[in-house]
Structure 1
Amino acid sequence: MITESEHSVLVIDDDAAIREMISDYLKLQGYGILEAENAAAARTLLAQQKPSVVLLDISMPGEDGLSLARYIREHLDIGIIIISAAGEAVDRIVGLEIGADDYLAKPFDPRELLARVRSVARRYEKLPVTTPNTGAEPSQRVRVGRCTLDLLSQQLFGPGDEELALTQMEFELLQILIDRPNRVLSRDQILNLTQNRDWDPNDRSIDIRIARLRRKIESDPERPRCIRTVRGSGYMFIPTTE
């Protein structure tokens, strides 16, 4: 049975020196630490415990980090930060496409790592559960393209009311857009609102998540009507009208 720790980090890296450096630093910041040298060891740990964030190296012997990230995202609602060598831009992009929350290039400043861990962990903190006075479950649904988003349960439903997979980062991005209808948001504004950091011109994380959302909510993702691109400026959410 999985036990959950709200303040623990699983460090997955085949380099023992890197694991030790990350673990020692995060322990000083008050985090509980789990370590795994490969994907197999990580799967064993994840079957028993549920950390708040996983720090995942891409290049490992055996099953690589991208395959493991896909498995984690399909089975667990926890934060994933991809760690990759500076030249592995393609792998970082793929990592974001399969549901990682953030990435960090080696070598990195431990203070930046801590900031990323804190930011991702906050997005997965459990909200207090309130008991409604009526027998009906609380709901606050809004139309987004061909879908419906329940803002309270953070669930996305398709045209046939089937639930569609939605990561925490995707929900936050969609909510930010919904809260600011018919308003152009730059990539820098979006990153500040979702991750409290500035946009780098080489950072494609927002574009990747917008593309993933479009594939879910747009009738024609190639000709989006709900989340529109404003060239040279950013993105704008257009509310669905009946």
Structure 2
Amino acid sequence: MNILMIEDNESVAEMMQMFFLNEGWEATFKYDGQEGLDAFLEDANKWDMITLDLNLPGMDGMMVAREIRKVSSTVPIIMLTARDSESDQVIGLEMGADDYVTKPFSPLTLIARIKALHRRSELVEKVPATPDSDQTFDIETGHFKMNTKTREAYLNGKSIDGLTPKEFDLLFTLAKKPRQVFSREQLLELVWDYQYFGDERTVDAHIKKLRQKIEKVGPQVIQTVWGVGYKFDDSGVA
């Protein structure tokens, strides 16, 4: 794995470098937001994972995440934040981060989060987003199609573009059991591979971004079941 770590605390970077080496991963460290973004832009396809501090000189982590997402919707981003504010963490997810870890953190916790996110994202293939008549879909209804090999999703024949790895997995988890209601706790365990210990706003932030991308191509198929959770239902799609 090739990791770009954008972190202004050199002690944290040095500590994580030892853990990355122990895993056999290559890591590049940048200590300024703008420098980190420039390193990403030099070769956007080079990176398998980005860890991004929220508070950075030059350009803060939220701005960096937003700029990265303009170039790549698939590169996994884990945001590191010393803030306990719920709003900061949700905004970070809405800016495009797939996950976040609150400082101070255990290096083993960050390694586990990286591995879990990478397991999901390594299936992403860069293929043209054009339906193929011979293509086999894992989910196919009269209005909706998904293919987990090509990581494509279509609503009424239109591609739902720009899905991050987590957004795709969240949509697939809901769509493969249409009209079944999933609680936030269930979605955390099924999509994130580990428990967030009640951190349900992670699901809400990803649902919000997923809905925005679905609405660009058609009617909303992710429904809220108040007091319970979410479900996929395309039965009302015209």
Q: Shift in Å at residue 101 of structure 1?
A: 0.6
| CA distance in 2 between partners of 1:233 and 1:163 (Å) | 26
Alignment partner of 1:200 is 2:197 = yes
| CA distance in 2 between partners of 1:66 and 1:153 (Å) | 29
**Per-residue CA shift, 1:31-54, capped at 9, x if unaligned?**
111111112322332213622110
| Contact map agreement 1:139 1:153 (CA 8 A) in 2 | no
**Ranges in structure 1 where 5+ consecutive residues have no aligned partner:** 1-6, 130-134
Match of 1:109 in 2: 106
| CA distance in 1 between partners of 2:182 and 2:133 (Å) | 36
- Aligned partner of 1:209 among 202, 206, 210: 206
Alignment partner of 1:65 is 2:70 = no
Alignment partner of 1:227 is 2:222 = yes
Match of 1:28 in 2: 22
Match of 2:31 in 1: 37
Per the alignment, in what secondary structure is the counterpart of residue 164 of structure 1?
coil
So what's the TM-score if we normalise by structure 2?
A: 0.83
| Contact map agreement 1:10 1:53 (CA 8 A) in 2 | yes
AA at the equivalent of 1:231: W
Q: Shift in Å at residue 203 of structure 1?
A: 3.5
Per the alignment, in what secondary structure is the counterpart of residue 63 of structure 1?
coil
AA at the equivalent of 1:208: A
| Contact map agreement 1:9 1:55 (CA 8 A) in 2 | yes
| Contact map agreement 2:94 2:206 (CA 8 A) in 1 | yes
So what's the TM-score if we normalise by structure 1?
A: 0.81
**Per-residue CA shift, 1:28-76, capped at 9, x if unaligned?**
1221111111123223322136221101001011111111111112212
Match of 1:132 in 2: none
Match of 2:129 in 1: none
**Per-residue CA shift, 1:88-146, capped at 9, x if unaligned?**
432221111122110000001111111100011112214689xxxxx9662537469xx
Q: Shift in Å at residue 216 of structure 1?
A: 3.0
Per the alignment, in what secondary structure is the counterpart of residue 185 of structure 2?
helix
- Aligned partner of 1:167 among 160, 164, 172: 164
Alignment partner of 1:96 is 2:93 = yes
**Aligned-pair identity (%):** 31
**Ranges in structure 2 where 5+ consecutive residues have no aligned partner:** 127-131
- Aligned partner of 2:52 among 56, 68, 71: 56
Per the alignment, in what secondary structure is the counterpart of residue 179 of structure 2?
coil
| Contact map agreement 2:167 2:206 (CA 8 A) in 1 | yes
Per the alignment, in what secondary structure is the counterpart of residue 43 of structure 1?
helix
AA at the equivalent of 1:32: E
| Contact map agreement 2:62 2:92 (CA 8 A) in 1 | yes
| CA distance in 2 between partners of 1:188 and 1:196 (Å) | 11
| Contact map agreement 1:143 1:240 (CA 8 A) in 2 | no
Per the alignment, in what secondary structure is the counterpart of residue 62 of structure 1?
coil
| CA distance in 1 between partners of 2:197 and 2:21 (Å) | 29
